[in-house]
């Protein structure tokens, strides 16, 4: 059943709540500090929920517009995906001295094992006409004493629906690197109690990078597929600025040999 919008009474209640918050903002100096701290905590929780609702709405609107994703699909492609971070704004849009793990939003988490986290990220608006994604992700890495830096991207449920060992998956990036950098993709497929992991290094052609996974060489149990996620692993990222202007994933049946 479709979810309906706000009813008359819900809109009226929301209007009253907004009016009350406006009154609180105007008279904050007259409110006791203990009560203000409690109100600030409530506002922080509301802000998180409102930001998530806005991001979900933006993502849904983009997905609903036909033919707008401009994802390059191979012949017989049966699934294509551009993660939400490259489609809609995240909140917060950036941070410095990023700990591990950090949830960036849009199903993306950042991991590292550095003791000194001279690492920052920010989502940037894409103004390049040759790249269709509305947003990009910029990582600035200075001193880095860790052994790994990675981004983990969750896949939607439909990524594993109908998935077989007769499929191949292609991950495509559009990048801007301050210094040359090796980037690896690790595909993780959870099937029952087991997790199949396949690692591929990205092949670069200018600012384009591609990694391909042929599941014919995997040991996945097609009848017990549960979920799938992708890790982007950056080799030696220190003193570098890495901008991922776009990331897309496509799935298609492998040609019969």
Answer for the pair 234, 242: CB distance below 8 angstroms, yes or no: yes
Q: Are residues 96 and 145 in the same domain?
A: yes
For residue 53, what pLDDT is reported? 67
CA–CA distance, 144 with 130 (Å, rounded to integer): 32
Distances (CA, A) of 245 to 57, 67, 81, 86, 114: 22, 20, 15, 8, 25
- Structural domain of 203: 79-253
Do both 25 and 136 map to the same domain? no
Dihedral (CA of 38, 42, 45, 51) sign: negative
Q: Which pLDDT score is estimated for 183? A: 97
Domain count, the chain: 2
Taking every pair of Cα atoms in the chain, the longest distance, rounded to a whole number of angstroms, is: 77
Q: What integer pLDDT is reported at residue 167 of this predicted model?
A: 95
- One domain, residues 40 and 101: no
* Residue whose token pair is 């495509």: 172
What are the pLDDT digits (tens) for 17-61? Answer: 888 888 888 888 888 888 888 888 787 777 666 766 666 665 555
User: Which class for 118: exposed (0-12), middle (13-18), buried (19 or more C-beta within 10 A)?
Assistant: middle
* Residues contacting 202, CB < 8 A, separation 6+: 171, 173, 182, 183, 184, 185, 209, 210, 211
- The reply to whether 173 falls in a domain is yes
Is 71 a domain residue? no
Kindly report, residue by residue over 165-175, the tens digit of the pLDDT. 999 999 999 99
pLDDT at 257: 47
Residue 74 belongs to some domain of the structure: no
Dihedral angle over CA of 211, 228, 231, 91, nearest 10? 120
30 upstream amide cis, omega within 30 of 0 = no
Q: Are residues 32 and 158 in the same domain?
A: no
Say yes or no: 45 and 87 in one domain: no
- The answer on 140 and 91 residing in a single domain is yes
Residue in the structure block whose two tokens are 């930001």: 51
Same domain, 44 and 169: no
Instruction: Kindly state whether residues 194 and 100 are assigned to the same domain.
Output: yes
> Residue 143 domain-assigned?
yes
Residue 192 belongs to domain with CATH number: 2.60.120.260
The Cα–Cα gap between 225 and 242 comes to 33
Report yes or no on 3 lying in a domain: no
The confidence score (pLDDT) of residue 68 equals 61
pTM for this prediction? 0.75
Q: Is residue 1 part of a domain?
A: no
The answer to whether 241 and 178 are in contact (CB under 8 A) is: yes
Residues 41 and 118 in one domain: no
For the chain, which ranges sit under pLDDT 70? 1-6, 47-49, 51-68, 256-257
Q: Are 94 and 191 members of one domain?
A: yes
The reply to whether 58 and 175 lie within a common domain is no
Tokens found for residue 50? 């409102």
Identify whether 176 is part of a domain: yes
* Stretch (H or E) spanning 251: strand 240-253
If asked whether residues 127 and 163 sit together in one domain, one would say yes
| End-of-domain residue from the set 35, 64, 93 | 64
Assigned domain for 73 exists: no
Q: Are the C-beta atoms of residues 117 and 98 closer than 8 Å to each other?
A: yes
């Amino acid at each position: 059943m479709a979810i309906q919008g706000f009813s008359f009474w819900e809109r009226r209640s929301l209007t009253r709540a907004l009016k009350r918050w406006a009154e609180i903002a105007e008279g904050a100096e007259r409110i006791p500090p203990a009560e203000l701290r409690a109100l600030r905590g409530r506002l922080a929780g509301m802000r998180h929920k409102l930001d998530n609702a806005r991001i979900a709405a933006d993502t849904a609107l983009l997905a609903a517009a036909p033919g707008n994703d401009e994802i390059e699909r191979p012949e017989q492609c049966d699934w294509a995906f551009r993660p939400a971070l490259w489609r809609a704004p995240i909140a917060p849009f950036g941070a410095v001295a990023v700990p591990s793990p950090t949830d960036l939003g849009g199903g993306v988490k950042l991991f590292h094992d550095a003791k000194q986290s001279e690492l920052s990220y920010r989502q940037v608006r894409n103004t390049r006409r040759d790249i269709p994604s509305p947003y990009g992700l910029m990582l600035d890495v200075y001193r880095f004493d860790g052994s790994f830096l990675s981004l983990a991207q969750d896949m939607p449920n439909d990524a594993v629906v109908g998935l077989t060992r007769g499929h191949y998956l292609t991950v495509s990036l559009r990048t801007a690197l301050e210094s040359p950098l090796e980037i690896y993709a690790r595909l993780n497929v959870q099937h029952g109690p087991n997790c199949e992991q396949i690692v591929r290094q990205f092949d670069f052609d200018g600012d384009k990078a591609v990694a391909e996974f042929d599941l014919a060489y995997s040991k996945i149990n097609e009848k017990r597929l549960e979920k799938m996620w992708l890790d982007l692993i950056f080799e030696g990222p220190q003193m570098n600025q890495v901008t991922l202007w776009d990331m897309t994933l496509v799935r298609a049946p492998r040609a019969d040999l």
